[in-house]
Amino acid sequence: MALCITITSTKGGVGKTTLTAHRGAYLADLGQTVLLVDADPQPTLSSYFPLRERAPWGLTRLMVEAATNGVISATTLDRLDSIFF
Ligand SMILES: Nc1ncnc2c1ncn2[C@@H]1O[C@H](COP(=O)(O)OP(=O)(O)OP(=O)(O)O)[C@@H](O)[C@H]1O
Ligand SMILES: [Mg+2]
């Protein structure tokens, strides 16, 4: 069963991205399969993890076309993938 964790705040610079990156990597390290979704229009989560494979599309395609193919980027960490704007 998938568990969805949303990290959000109306205030900037309070550690949303940092917490998301660390929690994601920690869960992947524990053996969970993790998909990080960066919905920030000024995304910085992508800078935390080197990519093994960069998807040609991202969150916009997922939301507008409800298509999941070509939107998930693979990081170099096992079990940790990501979707960016
Ligand atoms: N637990 C923490 N202790 C100390 N510094 C932290 C902690 N979490 C984050 N920071 C620092 O605070 C700053 C802002 O963190 P971060 O970018 O994660 O916030 P954010 O909420 O994602 O910001 P934004 O609203 O700009 O997206 C960064 O310099 C980060 O290194
Ligand atoms: Mg942020």
Q: Is the CB of 41 under 6 A from ligand 1?
A: no
Q: Is the CB of 27 under 6 A from ligand 1?
A: no
pTM for this structure? 0.92
Q: What is the pLDDT along the chain (85 residues), one digit of tens a residue?
A: 899 999 999 999 999 999 999 999 999 999 999 999 999 988 899 899 999 999 999 999 999 999 999 999 999 999 999 999 8
- Sorted by where each begins, the domain ranges of the chain are 34-84
pLDDT at 22: 97
Using DSSP's 3-state secondary structure scheme, residue 35 falls into: strand
Ligand nearest to the backbone CA of 38: 2
Return the ligand 1 atom nearest residue 40 CA: 27
pLDDT at 69: 95
Q: Is the CB of 61 under 6 A from ligand 1?
A: no
Q: Where are the beta strands (DSSP E) in the chain?
A: 34-37, 51-53, 73-75, 80-83
